[in-house]
Amino acid sequence: MTNLHRTGIEAALNDLLFNRDITLEEAAERHFTPGYRQRTDGEWADRAGFLDHIGHLRGIVAGGTVEVHDELYDGDKYADRHTCHITKNDGTAVTMEVYVFAELAADGRFHRIEETTLMLSGSDADRNIGSAR
């Protein structure tokens, strides 16, 4: 890894979901490589599928926060445990704990993420918030 300005999950999720001052594409370019892939709870998505999902979430999420509990960088490897606290446009709340293992590109952006999500609060219909499908 040659870039000292590497991304992390808090910055990436804040830009993707909560920062409406930048476009979804700007957020993606800032934090994810063109060849980015993600596996969430066993389901793979390429960058286009991931961004389609995030675009959908931007339409139903009013705001929220990302609370990082543990975070580790080791060369091009990244791992974390975080909780997403999300308020939807209808006023309901969703809380998910997420475990992430990732690979960073030489420029510091995410190239691959594999994650498992644990619903802490919310309805059964909200389970797809954590999913890239």
DSSP conformational letter for 127: G
Query: What's the rounded mean pLDDT across residues 41-64?
Result: 95
The DSSP letter of residue 118 is E
Supply the pLDDT for residue 133.
44
pLDDT digits (tens, 9 = 90+) for 66-91: 999 999 999 999 999 999 999 999 99
Tokens of 69: 């509990």
- Reported as a pLDDT band with limits 50, 70 and 90, residue 1 is very low
Residue 38, Ramachandran bin (φ over 0: left; ψ between -120 and 50: alpha; else beta): beta
The three-point CA angle 45-47-48 to 5° equals 90
Q: How far is residue 13's CA from residue 11's CA, in Å, rounded to a whole number?
A: 6
Return d(Cα 122, Cα 34) in angstroms, integer.
32
So what's the pLDDT on residue 103?
98
Q: What are 100-125's pLDDT values in tens digits?
A: 999 999 999 999 999 999 999 988 77
Higher pLDDT, 32 or 4: 32
Q: Does an H or E element contain 33, and which? A: strand 32-40
| pTM tops 0.85, yes or no | yes
Q: Which residues of 120-133 are buried (b: 16+ CB within 10 A; e: fewer)?
A: eebeeebeebbebe
